[in-house]
């Protein structure tokens, strides 16, 4: 549904072998940690994409509210509810923009490690911005369902962001949960811009262990 112009394709390797010398340094037996690290830096990337979608929706809704009267004597921007909703949306856009900058700056300072803040940024920004787009559609009202406007595209783009790039309900929240549950976690680490280590134990929290065959023990 979303990102219709993205050239998605399936790649299948048959009888492919990669020489051990070609492995990325430090990833032997740690491919899962490499994946988590990649999804860390992509967190603010997805977050800022969500900010862009929400900003487009906000500016379109604001322009609509300043010109559309809904049959009344004045544009609907003069109504309290419309002004309050758009004000909240504008504030949330700036909040998420700043969070993305914070997350990117943190990773720049810690050798691109930011598994905790990257996940937090992706979760909060993509979900808040989806809500922001829908709030803007409520301001526009039933006219937002007319395909002559861009609302269908904006809603599709906003909806896909929390679901892909390591879905928010799954990999992203599990990463946050794993770090917070660690006995060594400092709850002020992000505030103080200190390094937060991410380990294998953190990435498997609240998951079901793989099946392990138990040998039969003779009885009697």
Active-site annotation holds for 21:
no
Residue 206 lies in a domain: no
Let me know the angle formed at the C-alpha of 55 by 49 and 61, rounded to the nearest 5 degrees: 145
Residues 60-64, mean pLDDT to the nearest whole number = 97
What does the block give as tokens for 29?
Answer: 């037996």
Q: Residues in the chain, how many?
A: 220
Degrees to nearest 5, angle at CA 68 with 67 and 71: 135
CATH classification at residue 108:
1.20.140.10
| Closest to 159 measured CA to CA, from 37, 36, 57, 9 | 57
Lowest mean pLDDT among 19-33, 66-80, 99-113, 132-146: 19-33
* Position 74 in a domain: yes
3-class SS shares of the chain: helix, strand, coil, % to 5: 60, 0, 40
Does residue 100 fall inside a structural domain? yes
Report which of residues 40 and 6 the model is more confident about: 40
CA–CA separation, 137 and 60 (whole Å): 10
* Within-domain flag for 150: yes
The one catalytic residue among 32, 88, 108, 165? 165
- DSSP 8-state code for residue 19: -
For the chain, the domain total comes to 1
Name which of 14-18, 29-33, 69-73, 133-137 the model is least confident about: 29-33
pLDDT of residue 32: 75
Per-residue pLDDT of 139-163, as tens digits, reads 999 999 998 899 999 999 999 999 9
For residue 54, give the nearest of 168, 120, 113, 135 by alpha carbon. 135
Structural domain harbouring 100: 38-201
User: For 113-144, what is each residue's pLDDT tens digit?
Assistant: 899 999 999 999 999 999 999 999 999 999 99
Tell me, yes or no, whether 6 lies in a domain. no
Higher per-residue pLDDT: 151 or 4: 151
- Looking at residue 187, its pLDDT comes to 96
The CA distances from residue 163 to 78, 82, 215, in Å, are 36, 29, 40
CB atoms within 10 A of CB 201: 10
Q: What is the pLDDT of residue 93?
A: 98
Q: Give the mean model confidence (pLDDT) for residues 92-110.
A: 96
Model confidence pLDDT, tens digit, residues 87-100: 999 999 999 999 99
Does residue 215 sit within a domain?
no
Q: Has residue 168 been placed in a domain?
A: yes
Lowest-pLDDT range of 26-40, 63-77, 157-171: 26-40
| 109 domain-assigned | yes
Q: What is the DSSP letter of 171?
A: I
Mean pLDDT in the chain? 89
């Amino acid at each position: 549904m979303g990102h219709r112009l993205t050239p998605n394709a399936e790649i299948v390797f048959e009888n492919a072998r990669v020489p051990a010398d070609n492995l990325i340094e430090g990833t032997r037996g740690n491919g899962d940690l490499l994946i988590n690290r990649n999804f860390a830096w992509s967190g603010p990337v997805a977050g800022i994409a969500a900010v862009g979608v929400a900003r487009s929706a906000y500016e379109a809704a604001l322009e609509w509210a300043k010109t559309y009267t809904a049959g009344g004597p004045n544009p609907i921007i003069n109504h309290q509810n419309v002004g309050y909703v758009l004000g909240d949306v504008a504030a949330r856009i700036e909040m998420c923009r700043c969070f993305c900058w914070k997350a990117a700056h943190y990773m720049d300072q810690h050798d691109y490690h930011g598994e905790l803040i990257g996940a937090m940024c992706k979760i909060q920004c993509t979900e808040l911005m989806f809500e922001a787009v829908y709030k803007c559609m409520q301001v526009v009202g039933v006219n937002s369902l007319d395909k002559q406007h861009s609302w269908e595209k904006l809603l599709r783009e906003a909806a896909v962001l929390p679901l892909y790039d390591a879905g928010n309900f799954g990999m992203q929240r599990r990463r946050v949960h794993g770090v917070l549950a660690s006995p060594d976690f400092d709850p002020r680490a992000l505030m103080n811009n200190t390094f937060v280590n991410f380990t294998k134990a953190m990435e498997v929290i609240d998951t079901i262990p793989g099946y392990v065959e138990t040998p039969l023990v003779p009885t009697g």
